[in-house]
Structure 1
Amino acid sequence: MSDFEHSSGERDARRTTPGRPWTPAEEQRKDALRRYLGAVAAVASARSAEESERALGGERSEPPVTVSPGPPVQEPTVLRVRDVMRVPAVSVPGDMPFLDVAHTLAREQVSAVPVVDADDHVIGVVSESDLLAKAAVMAEPHRHGPVGRLRRHRLYEKSHGDTAATLMTFPPVTVHPAERVADAAWTAAHARLKRLPVTDYRGRLVGVVSRRDLLRALIRDDADIRAEVESLVGRYVPDPRAVEVTVENGAVTIKGRLDKAVVPELLASVREIDDVIDVVDDVEAV
Structure 2
Amino acid sequence: MASHSASAPVEQPAVTGPAAASPATTGTPTIADLQVRHVMKRSVAGVLADTPFLDIARMLARRQIGAAAVLDDSQRVIGVIAESDLLARAADLAIPDVPHGRFARLLGHRQQAGDAGGTAATLMTTPALTVHPWTSVVEAARTAARSRIRQIFVTDHRDRLVGVVSRAELLHALVRDDTAIHSEIVSHVVRDELHIDPEQVNVRVRNGTVTLRGTIDARLVPRLIEEVAAIPDVFEVEDHLVAH
TM-score by length of 1: 0.45
CA distance in 1 between partners of 2:91 and 2:154 (Å):
31
Residue 185 in structure 1 maps to residue 141 in structure 2: yes
CA distance in 2 between partners of 1:164 and 1:127 (Å):
10
2:19 paired residue number: none
CA distance in 2 between partners of 1:220 and 1:195 (Å):
19
Give the C-alpha shift of residue 212 in structure 1: 1.4
What is the CA deviation profile of residues 135-170 of structure 1, one whole-angstrom value per residue up to 9, with x for unaligned ones?
Answer: 23334555xxxxxxxxxxxxxxxx996111110111
Residue 198 in structure 1 maps to residue 151 in structure 2: no
Give the C-alpha shift of residue 220 in structure 1: 1.5
What is the total number of aligned residue pairs between the two structures? Answer: 141
Give the C-alpha shift of residue 225 in structure 1: 8.8
Contact kept? 1:82, 1:177, Cα under 8 Å? yes
Contact kept? 1:89, 1:207, Cα under 8 Å? yes
2:44 paired residue number: 89
In structure 2, relative to structure 1, the CA distance for the partners of 1:138 and 1:80 (3 Å cut) is: same
Q: Name stretches of at least 5 consecutive residues in structure 1 with no aligned partner.
A: 1-71, 143-158, 228-286
Q: Name stretches of at least 5 consecutive residues in structure 2 with no aligned partner.
A: 1-24, 98-114, 184-244
Residue 133 in structure 1 maps to residue 66 in structure 2: no
CA distance in 2 between partners of 1:73 and 1:91 (Å):
37
In structure 2, relative to structure 1, the CA distance for the partners of 1:162 and 1:219 (3 Å cut) is: same
User: Of 14, 24, 27, which aligns to 1:74?
Assistant: 27
Q: Secondary structure at the match of 1:172?
A: coil
- Measured on the aligned residues, the alpha-carbon RMSD in Å equals 2.6
Contact kept? 1:102, 1:131, Cα under 8 Å? yes
What is the CA deviation profile of residues 154-192 of structure 1, one whole-angstrom value per residue up to 9, with x for unaligned ones?
Answer: xxxxx9961111101110000010000011011111111
Give the C-alpha shift of residue 74 in structure 1: 2.5
User: Of 123, 126, 131, which aligns to 1:175?
Assistant: 131
2:195 paired residue number: none
1:217 paired residue number: 173
Q: Sequence identity, in percent?
A: 54
Give the C-alpha shift of residue 73 in structure 1: 6.0
CA distance in 1 between partners of 2:151 and 2:119 (Å):
21
**Correspondence 1:104-253 to 2 at 5 A:** 104-142=59-97, 162-221=118-177, 223-224=179-180
Q: Secondary structure at the match of 2:54?
A: helix
Q: Secondary structure at the match of 2:129?
A: coil
Q: Secondary structure at the match of 1:126?
A: strand
Higher RCO (CA-CA < 8 Å; seq separation 6+): 2
Counting helix residues as a fraction of each chain, which structure ranks higher?
1
1:146 paired residue number: none
CA distance in 2 between partners of 1:225 and 1:160 (Å):
50
Q: Secondary structure at the match of 1:215?
A: helix
Contact kept? 2:81, 2:123, Cα under 8 Å? yes
Q: Secondary structure at the match of 1:220?
A: coil
Give the C-alpha shift of residue 76 in structure 1: 3.7
CA distance in 1 between partners of 2:165 and 2:54 (Å):
25
Q: Secondary structure at the match of 2:130?
A: coil
Contact kept? 1:176, 1:201, Cα under 8 Å? yes
Amino acid at match of 1:131: L
In structure 2, relative to structure 1, the CA distance for the partners of 1:160 and 1:182 (3 Å cut) is: farther
Contact kept? 1:115, 1:168, Cα under 8 Å? yes
Which of 1 and 2 has greater Rg? 1
